[in-house]
Amino acid sequence: MHLLLVPADDDAVRLARLDAHGVLLGEPWQLGREDLPAAVAGLERDEAPRWVWDTTSDLYSALLQAGTRLARCHDISLARTVLRFSTLVQDPDYARFALDVTGSAEYPVSDAVEPEQRQESLFEAPRSHRSLEEVRQEFAAQLKAVETSRAPARLRLLLAAESAAALVAAEMRFLGVPWDQAVHRELLEEALGPEPAPGRRPALMEDLVVRLRELLRAPRLNPDSPQELLKTLHRNGIEVKTTRQWELKSSDHPAIEPLLEYKKLSRLHTANGWTWLDAWIRDGRFRPDYVVGGVVTGRWSSRGGGALQIPRSVRRAARALPGWKLLVADASQVEPRILAAMSADEGMARAARGQDLYAEIADAGFGGSRSSAKIALLGAMYGSTTGESARLMPQLKKLYPRAIALVEEAARTGERGGAVSTWLGRSTPPPGPDWDAAQRTQSQEEQRRADAWARARGRFTRNFVVQGTAAEWAECWLAGIRSRLAGLPLPDGAEAASPTGPAELVFFLHDEIMIHAPEELMPRCVEAVESAAREAGTLLFGRAPVDFPLTVAVVDSYDQAK
């Protein structure tokens, strides 16, 4: 049973029951927005439907704020992103349908807004109103596209995982990562000195600027300007081509050490300093926007606060509340394990059965050198053509012919302008309008550029199949964790404070999750995370002989994990 939810205007939502093919069952009806949460909660309890809507965050955020958690949904816009390019889809009508809806937009855009502009009203205003019938038709077209596709089960799983991920993302933003302002301010002061006036450099950075100006004999140097810095370095005989840290490290000039220190502090100050705290931490929680499927490979992206780049240096401030703990679980070496499973390469699958895949590969063919094995394998998945990884490739190819063939075939397809797909059927978008003309060019100079473009696209498609399938595994893992946590009992004496239950799934970073929960619930959470990982492997690959081991830490603050 499906329940379709379509915003009608500023204060109403239309609902309709649909059958398994998206056909109307009975008459649609309408509810005022203020009545919606209670009505939805009742329908969820009585009918346990799959909720169908265009964009999860448009409606679900408000439901969460009203205290309603939902078990499952179908996010039409996420499904559209997958289905419009998927090479598994054969329905000739669907691509046209998707194009009509999306117009020329290539990828989903976040509805993120600046935090101070965020409306905390119950419902965010939808960007455009489509009628219930239009939305229903698109949903029905999606169901048909899946059922008539070359692999309905895979696409069904992918769309279910994406929709579950959309629920998780909304819940994560609703809950937020617990963030201790005081600890954060402490570590800022420790590193940078007292909070400066707005627009001013912190004291310890200013001290370094004074030293740099003396050491480089440049009394007006602004080290934040790469151009200016580069000229100044050259005047002092420091012959670097860029001002990147790794290149600066090659010089032993006395100004280098304070310069690197300045860059480190500057990064902390501008990216996660006091301004960041004021902008992003409310009521002790960090609530960024997560954009499910925001990356072309299917990974999540985020908007605001640099949510997926929280540097190690500030992780101490992500802290569990008193009596609670953080569970940080990290799936080890996911991409090579995915490659082993996808390619059914027996040798690599054997290596992927242990805790440390790189060590197994090292023993199997690299004289026990784990670092060589790792460099070789990463090079194979990223398309490295130079240096040590290129030198090690022949050996890797001999050891794991099927695995290497899979990524090389993906690269060749991409170089030709073709599409490649993940295990569950997310495909690369076509290369863009200029591709064909560029590849047909006559001039030698343009031909060189076209070849470079083709090689770059080959590296992209090579990595796409692995990164994208890893993202699918991770979303299945996430969905499994979500449903298991929902079944956990409240600890004795605890009240149901949150619609998402006693354990809070608060963070997700490609192959890592964080749960914030009462300490006594942690054993149950660890079991949930581990059994969900096993289930994710089985969902994708059946009884594949590949393990997806986790590193699990139960800690008080994020920095204590790993």
Partner DNA sequence: CACCCCCGCGCG
Partner DNA sequence: AAAGCGCGCGGGGGTG
Site for DNA contains 551 (CB under 7 A): no
Site for DNA contains 308 (CB under 7 A): yes
Rule CB under 7 A: choose which of 121, 131, 270, 551 binds DNA: 270
Rule CB under 7 A: choose which of 184, 263, 287, 325 binds DNA: 263
CA 15 from centroid of its chain's CA atoms = 31
Rule CB under 7 A: choose which of 81, 163, 232, 297 binds DNA: 297
**Shortest distance, position 527 Cβ to DNA, whole Å:** 23
Rule CB under 7 A: choose which of 124, 511, 546, 557 binds DNA: 511
Judged by CB under 7 A, the number of residues near DNA is: 60
Restricting to residues 319-378, name those near DNA by CB under 7 A: 330, 375, 378
Restricting to residues 466-495, name those near DNA by CB under 7 A: 467
Site for DNA contains 291 (CB under 7 A): yes
Which x/- pattern over 425-464 shows residues binding DNA (rule: CB under 7 A)? -------------------------------x--xx--xx
Site for DNA contains 408 (CB under 7 A): no
Other Cβ atoms less than 10 A from the Cβ of 27: the count is 7
| Stretch of residues binding DNA (CB under 7 A), selected from 81-89, 143-151, 430-438, 504-512 | 504-512
In the chain, the amino acid numbered 122 is L
Q: Give the C-alpha separation, 356 to 352, whole Å.
A: 8
Rule CB under 7 A: choose which of 301, 447, 498, 560 binds DNA: 301
Rule CB under 7 A: choose which of 510, 520, 553, 560 binds DNA: 510
Helices (H), 217-333: 226-235, 245-248, 256-272, 274-280
Q: Contact 415/457 with Cβ under 8 angstroms?
A: yes
Rule CB under 7 A: choose which of 251, 382, 530, 556 binds DNA: 382
**Shortest distance, position 139 Cβ to DNA, whole Å:** 27
**Shortest distance, position 170 Cβ to DNA, whole Å:** 17
**Shortest distance, position 414 Cβ to DNA, whole Å:** 9
Site for DNA contains 316 (CB under 7 A): no
Rule CB under 7 A: choose which of 31, 62, 296, 403 binds DNA: 296
Site for DNA contains 421 (CB under 7 A): no
Site for DNA contains 82 (CB under 7 A): no
Q: Give the C-alpha separation, 207 to 213, whole Å.
A: 10
Site for DNA contains 294 (CB under 7 A): yes
Q: If we measure between CA atoms, which residue out of 532, 535, 491 comes closest to residue 508?
A: 532
Q: Give the C-alpha separation, 429 to 412, whole Å.
A: 16
Q: Give the C-alpha separation, 423 to 178, whole Å.
A: 35
Q: Give the C-alpha separation, 103 to 109, whole Å.
A: 13
- Whole-angstrom CA distances from 358 to 91, 348, 363 are 42, 10, 9
Rule CB under 7 A: choose which of 271, 321, 359, 544 binds DNA: 271
Whose Cβ is closer to DNA: residue 97's or residue 358's? 358
Rule CB under 7 A: choose which of 118, 211, 213, 267 binds DNA: 267
- Whole-angstrom CA distances from 524 to 106, 164, 423, 465 are 42, 21, 31, 34
- Total number of residues shown for the chain: 562
Site for DNA contains 276 (CB under 7 A): yes
**Shortest distance, position 423 Cβ to DNA, whole Å:** 17
Q: Give the C-alpha separation, 417 to 520, whole Å.
A: 54
Compute the half-sphere exposure of residue 239: CA atoms within 13 Å on the CB side of its CA: 0
Cβ-in-10-Å burial (0-12, 13-18, 19+) of 95 comes to middle
What kind and span of H or E run contains 511?
none
**Shortest distance, position 459 Cβ to DNA, whole Å:** 4
| Stretch of residues binding DNA (CB under 7 A), selected from 58-66, 162-170, 287-295, 542-550 | 287-295
Site for DNA contains 387 (CB under 7 A): yes
Rule CB under 7 A: choose which of 13, 132, 216, 310 binds DNA: 310
Q: Contact 139/18 with Cβ under 8 angstroms?
A: yes
Rule CB under 7 A: choose which of 45, 220, 312, 543 binds DNA: 312
Restricting to residues 210-249, name those near DNA by CB under 7 A: 222, 224-228, 230, 242-246, 249
CA angle 442, 444, 447 (to 5 degrees): 70
**Shortest distance, position 135 Cβ to DNA, whole Å:** 26
Compute the half-sphere exposure of residue 369: CA atoms within 13 Å on the CB side of its CA: 12
Compute the half-sphere exposure of residue 448: CA atoms within 13 Å on the CB side of its CA: 2
**Shortest distance, position 376 Cβ to DNA, whole Å:** 9
Cβ-in-10-Å burial (0-12, 13-18, 19+) of 331 comes to buried
Rule CB under 7 A: choose which of 379, 502, 537, 549 binds DNA: 379
Site for DNA contains 90 (CB under 7 A): no
Tokens 């996430």: give the residue: 478
Tokens 């056909």: give the residue: 23
Q: Give the C-alpha separation, 40 to 75, whole Å.
A: 17
Site for DNA contains 385 (CB under 7 A): yes
Q: Which residues bind DNA (CB under 7 A)?
A: 222, 224-228, 230, 242-246, 249, 263-264, 267, 270-271, 275-276, 291, 294-297, 299, 301-306, 308-313, 330, 375, 378-379, 382-389, 456, 459-460, 463-464, 467, 509-512
